[in-house]
């Protein structure tokens, strides 16, 4: 068994595919249970708007097949759904898988280079999968958060504004110029909605309404930003007057539809309306963008804008990659060393069993020997075994210290016919 990561991300799959493959928090235990049933001994599911990745401690087959099948079921049905998922996906194994997670948590693999939101998402994924993660993945995710923090403190990779929320502010600025005095309504009351609303408020935008399915959370944000909390149904008429609509609900389908706001927006008489759809799956029916003077941007659009603004962060990539590599070495040394002691013990026990069996067989044929001679021979066999196992033991311990233990361990276990380590 080894560490694997299987999944799709913003580089390999378009938004509509990522939307289908995204897992809500309530779906994580079920999805992991299926993969565990297929032979994985540990699993964590990281699902954000930019990636859906299964981190597993498993053999290649059939756990990986279970992942492809699970993802494939979410794509439009075809002759072979898992082939469809595989088309958009990737697999990284062992050291590459560790490096991959470290790059993810430090923001190096994000669409917006260095964005910090992923750190929280990695933590949430780990916490949601705690029951199924197992000791290796626990350690991996714990260290991944440490790597993310190190990269952000020791480099300038996370400096400046590079989030989708700040990109939304930039795009709105290209429509309205000065944002001070503009009005915005917020749909949704999650972390992303709150972050984006705060970004707008910082620019002088007046947050007039916060609409959400449950009003308690909406009320908290509305009170903080000076707006009013309403239900979603009460928000639709306000599309006639607001300058900016920020949508970030957790709804599984579009909530801002042509039927709900088409006529209302039509009454604006050409006044521009900027709609920032930060939700995945998207909250806004793309057909709304066909309306004159409606400027609709989804997560992909905003992340494209933010990515341009972060060009200077690229200078920090080498320093961040160095930290990732350093930490990958440390983890790999730990992981390699993890199986060394039990393997040495098992190897010695196995060899000792062989020695004892062969000694007993030989002594049966040497009845004439005195008890002293028998003791001498037993001592000799023991010394011979110790001499023979000395060098392999030293080599295994040394390889573990140098972070090369895992490969050597696998070789030893295979050579001496031992079960693979968990």
Partner 1 sequence: MIVTLHLVALALYALATALTLAPFMGFRSAPRALTIALPCAGAAVHVVAISQLTLIGLGPALSMLALCLVLLQLASERLLRGSAVSFFAGPLATGLVGLAILSGLTPGAEVAAGRNTWFILHVALSVLGLALLALAFIAAALYLLQFRELKARRFGQIFQLFPPLERLDQLNRFALVAGFPALTLGVLLALGYGAQFSGGLHVAKAQIVWGIFTWVVLGWAVWVRVVRHWAGRRAALASIAGFSAVLLVYVALKLTQPGAERFL
Q: How far is it, in rounded angstroms, from Cα 119 to Cα 104? A: 8
| Position 53 contacts partner 1 (CB under 8 A) | no
Among 171, 255, 280, 399, indicate the residue that binds partner 1 (CB under 8 A).
171
The 295-314 site mask, x for binding partner 1 (CB under 8 A), equals x-x---x--xx--x------
**Nearest distance from C-beta of residue 293 to partner 1, angstroms:** 6
Nearer Cβ to partner 1 (295/406): 295
Q: How far is it, in rounded angstroms, from Cα 259 to Cα 99? A: 47
Nearer Cβ to partner 1 (297/406): 297
| Position 280 contacts partner 1 (CB under 8 A) | no
Residues annotated catalytic, as ranges: 49
Among 24, 76, 177, 318, indicate the residue that binds partner 1 (CB under 8 A).
177
**Nearest distance from C-beta of residue 317 to partner 1, angstroms:** 21
| Token output for 131 | 């029951």
Segment near partner 1 (CB under 8 A), from 115-123, 234-242, 289-297, 406-414? 289-297
The 307-346 site mask, x for binding partner 1 (CB under 8 A), equals -x--------------------------------------
Among 79, 270, 371, 417, indicate the residue that binds partner 1 (CB under 8 A).
270
Nearer Cβ to partner 1 (214/293): 293
| Position 141 contacts partner 1 (CB under 8 A) | no
Nearer Cβ to partner 1 (149/308): 308
**Nearest distance from C-beta of residue 135 to partner 1, angstroms:** 45
Nearer Cβ to partner 1 (304/382): 304
Nearer Cβ to partner 1 (297/332): 297
**SS3 annotation, the chain:** CEEEEEEEECCCCCHHHHHHHCCCHHHHHHHHHHHHHCCCCEEEEEECCCEEEEEEEECCCCHHHHHHHHHHCCCCCCCCHHHHHHHHCEEEEHHHHHHHHHHHHCCCCCCCCCCCHHHHHHHHHHHHCHHHHHHHHHHHHHHHHHHHHHHHHHCCCCCCCCCHHHHHHHHHHHHHCCCCCCEEEEECCCHHHHHHHHHHHHCCCEEEEEECCCHHHHHHHHHHHCCEEECHHHHHHHHHCCCEEEECCCCCCCCECHHHHHHHHHCCCCCCEEEEECCCCCCECHHHHHCCCEEEECHHHHHHHHHHHCHHHHHHHHHHHHHHHHHHHHHHHHHHHHCHHHHHHHHHHHHHHHHHHHHHHHHHCCCCCCHHHHHHHHHHHHHHHHHHHHHHHHHHHHHHHCCCHHHHHHHHHHHCCCCCCC
| Position 183 contacts partner 1 (CB under 8 A) | no
Q: How far is it, in rounded angstroms, from Cα 93 to Cα 97? A: 5
Q: Are 162 and 111 in contact (CB under 8 A)?
A: no
* Count of positions on this chain that bind partner 1 (CB under 8 A): 19
**Nearest distance from C-beta of residue 183 to partner 1, angstroms:** 14
Q: Are 85 and 75 in contact (CB under 8 A)?
A: yes
| Position 173 contacts partner 1 (CB under 8 A) | yes
Among 142, 214, 293, 376, indicate the residue that binds partner 1 (CB under 8 A).
293
Q: How far is it, in rounded angstroms, from Cα 284 to Cα 234? A: 17
**Nearest distance from C-beta of residue 104 to partner 1, angstroms:** 25
The 189-228 site mask, x for binding partner 1 (CB under 8 A), equals ----------------------------------------
**Nearest distance from C-beta of residue 182 to partner 1, angstroms:** 10
The 362-381 site mask, x for binding partner 1 (CB under 8 A), equals --------------------
**Nearest distance from C-beta of residue 199 to partner 1, angstroms:** 17
| Position 246 contacts partner 1 (CB under 8 A) | no
**Nearest distance from C-beta of residue 302 to partner 1, angstroms:** 10
Instruction: Show Cβ contacts of residue 94 under 8 Å, excluding neighbours closer than 6 positions.
Output: 2, 3, 4, 406
Among 11, 130, 174, 322, indicate the residue that binds partner 1 (CB under 8 A).
174
Nearer Cβ to partner 1 (47/50): 50
Binding residues for partner 1, rule: CB under 8 A, are 171, 173-177, 269-272, 289, 292-293, 295, 297, 301, 304-305, 308
């Amino acid at each position: 068994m080894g560490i694997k990561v299987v999944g799709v991300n913003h580089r390999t799959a378009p938004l509509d595919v990522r939307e289908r493959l995204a897992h809500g928090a309530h779906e994580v235990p079920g999805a992991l249970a299926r993969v565990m049933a297929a032979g994985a001994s540990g699993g964590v599911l990281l699902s954000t708007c930019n990636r859906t990745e299964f981190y597993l401690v498993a053999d290649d087959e059939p756990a990986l097949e279970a992942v492809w099948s699970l993802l494939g079921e979410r794509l439009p049905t075809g002759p072979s759904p898992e082939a469809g998922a595989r088309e958009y996906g990737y697999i990284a194994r062992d050291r590459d898988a560790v490096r991959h997670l470290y790059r993810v948590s430090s923001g190096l693999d994000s669409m917006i280079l260095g964005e910090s939101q992923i750190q929280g998402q990695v933590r949430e994924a780990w916490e949601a999968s705690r029951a199924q993660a197992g000791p290796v993945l626990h350690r991996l995710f714990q260290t991944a958060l440490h790597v993310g923090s190190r990269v952000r403190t020791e480099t300038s990779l996370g400096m400046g504004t590079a989030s989708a929320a700040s990109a939304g502010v930039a795009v709105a600025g290209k429509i309205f110029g000065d944002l001070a005095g503009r009005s915005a309504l917020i749909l949704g009351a999650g972390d992303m909605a709150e972050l984006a609303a705060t970004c707008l408020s910082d620019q002088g935008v007046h947050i007039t309404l916060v609409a959400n399915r449950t009003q308690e959370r909406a009320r908290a944000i509305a009170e903080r930003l000076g707006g009013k909390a309403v239900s979603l149904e009460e928000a639709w008429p306000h599309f006639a007057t607001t300058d900016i609509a920020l949508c970030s609900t957790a709804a599984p389908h579009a909530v801002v539809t042509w039927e709900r706001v088409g006529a209302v927006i039509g009454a604006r008489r050409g006044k521009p309306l900027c709609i920032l759809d930060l939700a995945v799956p998207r909250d806004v029916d793309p057909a709304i963008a066909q309306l004159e003077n409606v400027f609709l941007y989804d997560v992909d659009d905003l992340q494209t804008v933010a990515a341009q603004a972060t060009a200077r962060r690229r200078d920090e990539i080498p320093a961040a990659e160095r930290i990732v590599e350093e930490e990958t070495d440390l983890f790999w040394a730990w992981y390699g060393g993890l199986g060394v002691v039990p393997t040495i013990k098992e190897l010695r026990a196995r060899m000792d069993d062989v020695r004892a069996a062969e000694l007993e067989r030989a002594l049966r044929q040497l009845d004439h020997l005195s008890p002293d001679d028998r003791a001498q021979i037993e001592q000799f066999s023991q010394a011979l075994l110790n001499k023979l196992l000395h060098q392999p033991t030293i080599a295994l311990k040394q390889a573990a210290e140098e972070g090369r233990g895992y490969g050597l361990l696998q070789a030893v276990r295979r050579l001496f016919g031992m079960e693979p380590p968990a």
